[in-house]
Every structure is written in C-alpha cells, then in structure tokens.
Amino acid sequence: MKEAIKHFEQFYEEIFVELSDFGELKELSVVDNLSDHLIGNVYAKFNDEESASKAYNALEGKYYHSNMVEEEYCPIINVKDCKCRKFEDGLCNRGPYCNFIHLKEVSKSLLRSLRDEMYETHPEYKKNRNNNNNNFTRKKPRRHENTSSESSLDRYDNFTRKRIIQRWNDDFKSEKNIQDKRKKIEKERYEEKKEYERKKYAEDFKREDYKRNKREKEKDEYRDKERDRDKDKRSEKDNEEIKRKEEDKKEEKNIDSDDEETISRGEVE
C-alpha cells in the first residue's frame, strides 16, 4: 500500500508540474474508476481559457509511459458535483464500475507544497489573479443561500419546512430499506449458493466413494477368484500325487506278492 501511494503521488506531482507551466492550475483530479468511459481520466481546471488552450495544444501527440495522451475539452465545471456521494460514505455497491466519479485522494501537504512551488516558479500567476479580482467585485452569497430549490429552507414557513424535512427523512428511510432488502437478498442468494455447492460436493464425494468402493470390491473378488483357482490347481496336483503314490504302492504290493509266490513254489519243489 505504501508503494502504491508513493507511486500515485509521484504521478500526481509529474502531471501537476507539467500542466502548471501552461497557466495557473486550480484543480487536478485523478479518477479511480475502471469503467470504459472513466478509466485513466485526469481532470485539470485552469484559471482561464487561454491556459487551457495552451495545455491542449502542447499535449497533442505527446506520450506518457508509451501511452498517447488523449486530451479534450470537458464540459464539467466542477468535478465535485460529479462525485459519487455513496463512495465517500463507503456505501457504493457498484465499486470501481460506478458511473459516477470516484476520485483518488491526495494528501493536503502534497497539494500545499505543489501550489507553493507553482507560485514560486511562476509569480506572475498571483499578480494576474489579483488584477482580475480588482477588475470586478463578486457578490458573496449569504451563509445559508443555495441555488437549489429545496435546499434553502429560509424562504419557507415552519409548516412547509417540516414537510420538506419529513420528505427528506422518508426518502432516506426508503432508500435505506431498499439497501437493507438488497443486502438481505444478496445474503440469501449467497447462502443458497453455498448450500448448493455443499450439497453438490457431498454428492460428488458420495459418488467418488461409491466408485472407489466398487473398484476395491472388484479387486477383492478378482483376488478371491485367483486364490480359488490356485487352490483348485493345488488340490488337483495333490490328488494326482496321491493317486500316483497309491498306484506305486499297488505296484510294489504286486511285485512283493509275485516274489512270495516264486519263493513258495521253490520251497514246495
């Protein structure tokens, strides 16, 4: 995280210093979105249109880290009006693919040092700004004055203000209920998905266990058959040996009986 912050601050400083050479730079905003129409966007607001046109003409056809810079005039007057309010509160559900701008935060010390460096290298910016301010006087808005229709409640009576505040509260509660319901539905879907995966895993495990037991059973049956076959062969060999021994005994008995007969005949003679 520290290396990423350091890398971003170096990038911000390079862009700020480069653009401040064309005129007084009032704001420099870097977008953190990943959607196709916002990824890689950098918004620069100059003090006057001449500085913006100088920067536009100077950056045309230039490269930054082997990527061509694509510059264009932006109709956005204030980038803060396009920011995602839910992102600032940590409630944006769309994440980096939100259609509203998610700005990357820059430390105040870095901004202060970059502005001081800009005014030191270009002291004419302050003189031009002072001259422009002396040419016309801008009427300061009141403390609670606002251009929106319902945000300034001073123009309404007490009853109307209560109704407006009540409607704001109702809208906030309805939006919160919708978010809670959405979170609940997402949680239920997640639990259903986990349950389905668990059941599927259990079924797969049972299937594999059944196949493994079947293979082991077949192996055992094959071993038993081989054992029985060997046993039958041994028994046949044993029977053959027993028969052969019996035949040998019979032949020996026959030979002995023939010898006895010859001996008895000799005695008689």
Name the residue range of residue 158's domain: 152-269
Residue ranges of the chain whose pLDDT lies below 70? 129-159, 161, 256-269
Residue 139 within any structural domain of the chain: no
- For the chain, the domain total comes to 2
Q: What is the DSSP string of 198-243?
A: HHHHHHHHHHHHHHHHHHHHHHHHHHHHHHHHHHHHHHHHHHHHHH
Query: What's the pLDDT at 90?
Result: 81
Residue 211 within any structural domain of the chain: yes
Residue 43 within any structural domain of the chain: yes
Residue 147 within any structural domain of the chain: no
Same domain, 182 and 268: yes
Same domain, 166 and 50: no
Residue 192 within any structural domain of the chain: yes
Same domain, 122 and 72: yes
Task: Classify 103 as helix, strand or coil.
Answer: strand
Answer yes or no: are the C-beta atoms of 103 and 79 closer than 8 Å: yes
Residue 44 within any structural domain of the chain: yes
Residue 78 within any structural domain of the chain: yes
Query: What's the pLDDT at 240?
Result: 80
Query: What's the pLDDT at 12?
Result: 93
Residue 140 within any structural domain of the chain: no
Q: Which pTM does this prediction carry?
A: 0.48
